[in-house]
């Protein structure tokens, strides 16, 4: 966003400002001199940082919190239609837009790079940002997670590029018109707003069609749904995968000390050998997308290779929270069956645990109900699964009545797993602390606040939290 853009001269009020995306855009706007206020339900380090940068922050979400002179009231996806601040803004005739619309306005003023897919968006967005920063291209960015190597989850640079996640929820990514777009994978999710997989694929196809003719769409050729949307796109298409005939190919893939190494071929020609700095077979696919975009942005091969090896990942992505007496405690954001399988497999490859304990907090009752059978099959690599109550967000009370965490436990056991329902976080720590042994790995997992169990367990075991 250039310094002369009218966006920088407006006054914004952001409802749900503490979320990753919202706080990132707030930081961008503040950096450019805009006046920003916002509210969220509770204090957080991110709210403190925004206040230090000049934002007026409130944890009282009431009608009077909305400034009378706000030019734009921006609401996060988690804000319901009957939220008091939203209703107050509408009554006063203030312009109300959602996060995705603001993201689209910001991206339109820069050379946008949008990373989409059912899984892997945050890691890939952060990874690409890291490569471009290391190459001196100084991008602006918004990542849906905090990233230590980037100084947080957002940043403003003087380069032309603006890199951001493109979320398919409620078709919000159709607000974006990026110069470059990545589609990592397409699977069933958000079935509270999509009727089926065909509708989800059609939304991704519409997103890819928004890239202009002089732009680039990067597709994962290993994903069957991604392959179907390539024909007819206006932009150039580059494909990534392990098979011959793709634009960017990973060949001779090997695993060494929990990290993958492979050769990279571009249109069949050898480019070089790379080693990834983060674990997980799924990150080979993510790395190829990063390579394709970085190459198109003019990043030289030596810089790409170095960045792939040096990147250490985002917060809550197989993050080591502490190690006490040979017991490792990890935390991850995975909340979809495919993500769960990939994360558990990566944890086994990286740490070779004596026993792998998984504490999984389901996210949304609707997602749990729609994908219950897939969830039940996704824990095969865990020795023990502990399930607290479902994290309640966006769903109706009626949806809450239709499925429970105990239902998931029953299905996991029917699929041959060992699972137990323990509703409260404190009771989970009470269960784990006396039973975990040296060589064990405890992995908390979910998009809610399950990370609190990981941190409390480390402290209960007498260890120090990783910074």
Whether the CB-CB separation of 403 and 373 falls below 8 Å is answered with no
Same fold, 6-98 and 319-460: no
The pLDDT of residue 1 is 38
The pLDDT of residue 116 is 97
44-66 CB burial, b ≥16 within 10 A, e <16: bebbeebeeeebebbeebeeebb
The pLDDT of residue 467 is 66
CATH fold label, 6-98: Rossmann fold (3.40.50)
Per-residue pLDDT tens over the stretch 197-214: 999 999 999 999 999 999
Q: What is the mean pLDDT of the chain?
A: 94
pLDDT at 5 over 60: no
The residue-averaged pLDDT of 242-249 equals: 96
pLDDT at 279 over 50: yes
The residue-averaged pLDDT of 447-465 equals: 93
Minimum mean pLDDT range among 41-55, 247-261, 402-416, 443-457: 41-55
The residue-averaged pLDDT of 36-58 equals: 92
Q: What's the chain's length in residues?
A: 467
Strand pairing class (419-421; 384-387): parallel
Question: What gap in Å lies between CA 236 and CA 38, rounded to an integer?
Answer: 40
The residue-averaged pLDDT of 184-189 equals: 95
Quote the percentage of the chain above a pLDDT of 90.
Answer: 84
The pLDDT of residue 464 is 85
CATH fold label, 319-460: 3.90.190
Residue 78 pLDDT class (50, 70, 90 cuts): confident
pLDDT at 3 over 80: no
String of DSSP letters for 272-284: EEEE-SS--THHH
**Owner of token pair 């399950």:** 450
Angle at 171 between CA 167 and CA 174, to 5 degrees: 85
Residue 2 pLDDT class (50, 70, 90 cuts): very low
Which pair of tokens denotes residue 433? 């602390």
Residue 463 pLDDT class (50, 70, 90 cuts): confident
Per-residue pLDDT tens over the stretch 392-405: 987 888 899 999 99
pLDDT at 278 over 50: yes
**pTM for the complete prediction?**
0.92
Which pair of tokens denotes residue 340? 């769960």
Question: What gap in Å lies between CA 125 and CA 20, rounded to an integer?
Answer: 13
**Owner of token pair 């998984």:** 358
Architecture field, domain 110-310: 3-Layer(aba) Sandwich (3.40)
Domain segments of the chain as ranges:
6-98, 110-310, 319-460
Which pair of tokens denotes residue 87? 């209703």
pLDDT at 73 over 60: yes
């Amino acid at each position: 966003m250039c310094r002369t853009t009218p966006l920088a001269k407006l006054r914004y009020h952001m409802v749900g400002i503490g979320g990753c995306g919202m706080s990132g855009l707030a930081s961008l706007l503040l950096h450019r001199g805009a006046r920003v206020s916002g509210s969220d339900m509770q204090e957080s380090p991110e709210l403190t940082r925004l206040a230090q940068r000049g934002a007026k922050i409130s944890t009282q979400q009431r009608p009077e919190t909305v400034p009378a002179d706000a030019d734009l009231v921006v609401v996060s996806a988690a804000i319901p239609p009957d939220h008091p601040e939203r209703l107050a803004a509408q009554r006063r005739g203030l312009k109300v837009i959602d996060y995705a619309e603001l993201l689209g306005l910001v991206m339109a003023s820069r050379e946008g790079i949008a990373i989409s897919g059912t899984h892997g968006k945050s890691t890939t967005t952060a990874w690409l940002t890291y490569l471009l920063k290391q190459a001196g291209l100084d991008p602006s960015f918004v990542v849906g997670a905090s990233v230590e190597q980037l100084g947080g989850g957002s940043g403003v640079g003087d380069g032309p590029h603006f890199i951001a996640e493109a979320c398919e929820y409620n078709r919000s990514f159709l607000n974006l018109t990026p110069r470059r777009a990545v589609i990592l994978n397409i699977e069933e999710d958000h079935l509270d707003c999509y009727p089926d997989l065909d509708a989800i694929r059609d939304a991704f196809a519409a997103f890819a069609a928004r890239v202009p003719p002089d732009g680039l769409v990067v597709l994962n050729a290993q994903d069957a749904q991604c392959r179907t949307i390539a024909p007819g796109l206006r932009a150039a298409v580059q494909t990534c995968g392990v098979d011959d005939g793709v634009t960017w190919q990973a060949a001779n893939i090997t695993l060494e000390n929990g990290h993958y190494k492979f050769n990279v071929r571009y249109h069949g020609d050898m480019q070089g050998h790379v080693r990834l700095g983060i674990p997980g077979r799924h990150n080979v696919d993510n790395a190829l997308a990063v390579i394709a975009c970085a190459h198109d942005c003019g990043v030289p091969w030596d810089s790409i290779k170095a960045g792939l090896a040096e990147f250490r990942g985002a917060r809550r992505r197989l993050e080591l929270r502490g190690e006490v007496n040979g017991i490792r405690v990890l935390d991850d954001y995975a909340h979809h069956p495919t993500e769960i399988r990939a994360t558990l497999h990566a944890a086994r490859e990286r740490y070779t645990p004596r026993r792998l304990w998984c504490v999984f907090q389901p996210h949304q009752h609707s997602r749990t109900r729609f994908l219950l059978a897939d969830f039940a099959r996704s824990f095969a690599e865990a020795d023990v699964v502990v399930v607290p109550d479902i994290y309640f967000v966006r769903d109706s009370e009626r949806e809450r009545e239709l499925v429970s965490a105990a239902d998931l436990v029953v299905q996991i056991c029917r699929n041959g797993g060992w699972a137990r329902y323990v509703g409260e976080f404190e009771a989970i720590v009470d269960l784990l602390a006396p039973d975990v042994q040296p060589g064990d790995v405890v992995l908390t997992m979910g998009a809610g606040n399950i990370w609190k169990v990981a941190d409390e367990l480390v402290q209960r075991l007498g260890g120090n939290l990783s910074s």
